[in-house]
Amino acid sequence: MDKLTQNLSQYGAYHLSQKNVATHIVGIPLIVTSIILLCARWQWTVAGINMNFAQVLIVISSIYYLRLDRIMGLIMFVILMAMAFLIQPLAGASLWLWLGCAVGLFVVGWVFQFIGHAYEKMKPAFFDDLKGLLIGPIFVLAEIMFKFGYRPNLEKEVTAQAVQLRRQLNATTKQTA
């Protein structure tokens, strides 16, 4: 099993309910946007090139995503850089407007996440593995791309593995209860 399948399956084991997936399709982009907005405020210039901390994080996370899957990694890079570009004016706004928007997006995004996990009756993936925080955005992208027919065999394999992992999680939970 390749790393993409493994990571999507592990994350997917906590996200089998379509209601939960739907709340993540809304919540995760809000959270990612808030993080980009928070990080875009810290800017510097190197050799005449303006940069900010959000761009650095985007490049680092995109390298990880590209290693998982070239097409999805490239799409993630384009989406994240577009988000960084679009929120840049807000990053330069007054302190309270910038901070209020970033915190507001973050809180609303997490509300969606926890509503989804209430439907799922399952804790968030990152409670067991912090890597879930990095996999969430590419999981959302994969779910959307699967809806458009992208790599149906990957979708089937991820779903089958996620169901199997979920059974293991449920068995472990029952043993410790």
How much is the pLDDT for 129?
A: 64
Confidence of residue 176 (pLDDT cuts 50, 70, 90): low
Confidence of residue 161 (pLDDT cuts 50, 70, 90): very high
- Residue-number span of the structural domain to which 14 is assigned: 3-176
Q: What is the mean pLDDT of the chain?
A: 93
Tell me: pLDDT of 177 over 90: no
Q: How many separate domains does the chain show?
A: 1
Tell me: pLDDT of 123 over 80: no
CA distance 39 to 41: 5
More confident residue, 133 or 124: 133
Tell me: pLDDT of 27 over 80: yes
